[in-house]
Structure 1
Amino acid sequence: MSATSEIQKRASSEELADQNIGSVYDFLYYDARRVGSFLSQFDDSGLLQGFSRKEGRQANHVDGAEMEASGGLPAIAKGRAKYLNTATTGKIEEASSTYDPYWINALTLLDVLQEHGMLSTNVSECRIGHLALFTGSLKIRDMRLIQKALALPSMKGALGKGDESGTSRQVRRQQVRKGTEIASTEFGLELFSLLPHAVQLEVSAEGASVWATLQEESMVVSSSDLFLKHGIDVPGDWYVLGVVDALPTMPNDPFSALSQYAQASQNLGAIGNGGVDFGTHGFAALIDAVVPFAKILIGRRESQFGATPLLIFRKVSDLRPVGTT
């Protein structure tokens, strides 16, 4: 069955009346452009933008009249004749409905992917390029809000002081000698203000963590509404359909994270200490050093999966008693 046929079937009023609708979905995120790009590949005609459904009925009415006449001709006996005159009139009643498949496209993609065996639901089996459906809890962070907060002088002062009570003088001297002092709080704040900021998503699914960024224009509910209502943790059981584009390369433990941070800091410090030959590598060396450090600050951790979300939704609860239809 083509994607267009599936959409028309879902949108048909008769189909909706005949079938028992098992679930209704509440969408939090919908990347309609990318969903359309996938759906168009399952139909030779491309993506269905809309269609109309017409229903007609004709009612007929018959009118009849009977006439009687008599007459005669010379040498011919008189005769009598009857004439029946009928007229049929018809009236056509037509109803037209126009459907927008915008929201149905989202569910149609799920059906088509399942039908073609292209949907992975096991996190541990995901590979780069897989279309996967993750199920779990959500954390959503709007990094733009943090960026604005860190621009406040009072916040800079509070973070600049830090907490040095647990750091010995000997350790701090070792940090300076190793060139890691460039990765201080002050430098981190300055770098943070220059980095691109987006709405970030974390999904906890089957003991794994999936990291992604969200486009504001695809958010059905704005990130500011979610922040004011829930903070970071959005309650409920959520489904996230997305394309897997990064796999974990390190275990999720403090030692691995610290070693990664130390390596990125050392590479960044080499630039400030003249350890990089710009004549040979050009500004590519600067980018190669800054990007890994920036990724540690606000990006995906190496212990996480990475994905590009297409849909985020949850099932709406059915309040009817069990066993009723």
Structure 2
Amino acid sequence: MLGFMFSETNEGDMWFFGKRARKLERESKIVYDFMYHDARRVASFISQMEPGGHLLSMKQSSQEMLSKSNRRLYSGSFSSMFGLKADLEKISGGQSIASFERVYDPLWGNAINFIKYLEGMKLIHESIHNANIGQFVSFSGILKILDLKMLKDAWGMPNVISQIIIGNTSSMTEQQIKENELASDIIKLFPLTLQAYMYEPGENFSASWMNLDPECMVVPADNIIMKYGVTVQGTWKVIGIKDAYVDTVESNDLTFDSIRGRKWEDIASERHSTVIAIFAEILSSMARKGLGRPKIYYGITPILIYREITPNMAE
């Protein structure tokens, strides 16, 4: 609820925020539009970069001498929806001092400061190809969002599954048909996640794969998909951690084909494991191949996905 107390109009509030807007106009020409913001991870890094730890709230106080014209616009005290509190105090000589106090939620400021810290500490690698595992990377390009949870209801539709998973059986052997039917049953066990693909154009082309936490989405994935489909228009930027190279050699992960005709106990003994662990390893390998990161994609843990809004934006 607003608590304005003005003599006639709200022009005093407009006067204060107008000054702030003009100051911002001089200081910066960029506004950040966040699509994805992992606030917990940002907080964990900020707490290591700030001497006092992670900032939860911030209060700013200031005083300003008012002219007669501004004093007529404003009298008494007020608080506003913007977190601004102000008091007018008369001093000797008929002059007045306005005391302003604002309380800020630093959530989004932390995200911007995090970017500045990484740049200032030279922790960001602009080339995803040259970065090592565990290092911060920054790259931009074409963004695709894929919500596998949309497939959840499809598993109960035999006709859909037969077309997507099993396929055209006319050219398949009986063994291939059985394997595809098995895959259609097993895939129901796999996690259906929210995923993003980023394609960086140009000579240093790169393709990256990311798992997204739905709770970190500033814009719900449903809204994005209903507006764009899969490919999101515009140029988007990712700041994240590189945690997987492009696969350059064949994996030695177990598959059902690789153990066919052998005893599970023997395989478990060879790998110093258990039968149930072997089974879980095979399912994990199938999940990655069927629904996870493609072999030719880098693996990225995203922290921020955003675009920069400037006065003269180019496509």
TM-score above 0.5? yes
Where does residue 311 of structure 2 map in the other structure? 318
Where does residue 8 of structure 2 map in the other structure? none
Q: What is the aligned length? A: 263
1:105-124 alignment, distance < 5 Å: 105-124=110-129
Shift of 1:100: 1.3
Where does residue 23 of structure 1 map in the other structure? 30
Where does residue 33 of structure 1 map in the other structure? 40
- Matched-pair contact (CA < 8 Å) for 1:159–1:185: no
- Matched-pair contact (CA < 8 Å) for 1:210–1:306: yes
The structure 1 residue matched to 2:194, chosen from 184, 199, 202, is 199
The structure 1 residue matched to 2:158, chosen from 153, 160, 177, is 153
Cα distance in 1 between the residues matched to 2:95 and 2:199: 65
Where does residue 92 of structure 2 map in the other structure? 61
Cα distance in 1 between the residues matched to 2:211 and 2:149: 12
Where does residue 256 of structure 1 map in the other structure? none
Where does residue 58 of structure 2 map in the other structure? 51
Shift of 1:147: 2.5
The structure 1 residue matched to 2:248, chosen from 227, 247, 250, is 250
Where does residue 189 of structure 1 map in the other structure? 184
1:61–1:118 Cα change, 3 Å: same
Cα distance in 2 between the residues matched to 1:237 and 1:160: 34
Tell me the amino acid that sits aligned with residue 192 of structure 1: I
Cα distance in 2 between the residues matched to 1:102 and 1:208: 31
Shift of 1:124: 1.4
State which structure, 1 or 2, has the greater radius of gyration over its C-alpha atoms: 1
- Output one character per residue of 1:89-132: Cα deviation in whole Å (capped at 9) or x when no partner: 99664221111111111111111111011011112112101100
Q: If the length of structure 1 is used for normalisation, what is the TM-score? A: 0.72
Worse-matched range after superposition: 282-291 or 122-131: 282-291
- Matched-pair contact (CA < 8 Å) for 1:147–1:192: no
Worse-matched range after superposition: 213-222 or 140-149: 140-149
| Unaligned ranges ≥5, structure 2 | 1-18, 65-88
1:90–1:24 Cα change, 3 Å: closer
Where does residue 220 of structure 2 map in the other structure? 222
- Matched-pair contact (CA < 8 Å) for 2:166–2:184: no
Matching of residue 241 in structure 1 with residue 246 in structure 2:
no
Where does residue 7 of structure 1 map in the other structure? none
Question: CA RMSD for the aligned pairs?
Answer: 2.9
- Matched-pair contact (CA < 8 Å) for 1:271–1:286: no
Cα distance in 2 between the residues matched to 1:161 and 1:101: 51
- Output one character per residue of 1:66-100: Cα deviation in whole Å (capped at 9) or x when no partner: xxxxxxxxxxxxxxxxxxxxxxx996642211111
Cα distance in 1 between the residues matched to 2:165 and 2:129: 41
Identity of aligned residues (%): 25
Where does residue 85 of structure 2 map in the other structure? none
1:267–1:238 Cα change, 3 Å: same
Tell me the amino acid that sits aligned with residue 222 of structure 2: S
Cα distance in 2 between the residues matched to 1:284 and 1:229: 43
Which secondary structure state, in structure 2, belongs to the residue aligned with residue 245 of structure 1? strand
- Matched-pair contact (CA < 8 Å) for 1:138–1:238: yes
Higher fraction of strand: 1
